[in-house]
A and B are shown apart, each in its own frame.
Chain A
Amino acid sequence: MADQVLDAKGLNCPLPILKAKKALKGMAAGQTLAIEATDPGSVADFAAFCNQTGNELLSQSSEGDVYKFEIKRT
């Protein structure tokens, strides 16, 4: 179970990334953030975001039109 959940459904680029960053900022290292988004671009964008910031992308999946991510704050 993630420490925090972010509902980014219905939001378009770059809002899911901006909101995820804001949430991660307030979390402690080692805590995890679960994100749900509907922006298809978020799949590539969260991978790039994690590569660049060093936060760990634990998992990525999709269910219907919803893309799910789990990111560990480092």
Chain B
Amino acid sequence: MLDNSDLDNAKSMSIIVTKGSLDWAYPPFILGTTAAAMDVDVTMFFTFYGLPLLKKKLDLKFTPLGNAAMEMPMMGTHIAMPNIVGMLPGVGSMAGSMMKNLIKKKGVASIEDLREAAVESDVRMIACQMTLDLFEYKKEDMIDGIELGGAATYMETALKADINLFI
């Protein structure tokens, strides 16, 4: 962002972040940090289940439930997990640790690292005030450097942005 932020043709992007599970946290943070690295002005608006991604302490969960397309690499092949198996006690957390191990093994960044990179590269992060009230979070629960705002705050930014994503 610093290289051409003073130029008129600086590009901008906004992302509405609505999902906060381990797998769904990746697309917005990968695109947000990469865009910032490519000198794009990035705004991320965290609403509903995306809001907990701004909490100081992240403890992201993962579930294979409802995801018929998910296959995990296992013993040289790919294994899909039927929903009925995913519902058994403990299977969800087991799938979560499998996913975290895979992420580490493949050199994929953690969400914590990507979020830190977003903060470092001046990505503007807005917490949805309504969601904060609805789910009874306090601004103190969230990391420093974020803003609070609502739909109009987002719209003002989105109307001027080159790219707007809803994830």
Chain B contact residues, majority secondary structure: loop
Say which residue of A17, A48, A54 sits within 8 Å of B4 (CB atoms): A54
A14-B34 contact in complex given A54-B3, A54-B4, C-beta closer than 8 Å: yes
Total contacting residues, chain B, CB less than 8 A:
16
Say which residue of A10, A21, A39 sits within 8 Å of B37 (CB atoms): A21
B108/A18 in contact, CB under 8 A: no
The answer to the question of B76 belonging to the interface, with a C-beta cut-off of 8 Å to chain A, is no
A residues less than 8 Å from B106 (CB atoms): 12
B37/A14 in contact, CB under 8 A: yes
B residues less than 8 Å from A13 (CB atoms): 30, 108
Contact with B along A20-60 (1 / 0, CB 8 A): 11100100000000000001000000001100111000000
Q: Which residue of B lies closest to A73 (CB)?
A: B3
The answer to the question of A5 belonging to the interface, with a C-beta cut-off of 8 Å to chain B, is no
List 21 A–B pairs whose Cβ atoms lie within 8 Å, in order of A's numbering.
A11-B107, A11-B109, A12-B106, A12-B107, A13-B30, A13-B108, A14-B34, A15-B109, A17-B37, A18-B33, A18-B34, A18-B37, A18-B109, A18-B117, A20-B37, A21-B37, A22-B120, A39-B107, A49-B38, A53-B3, A53-B38
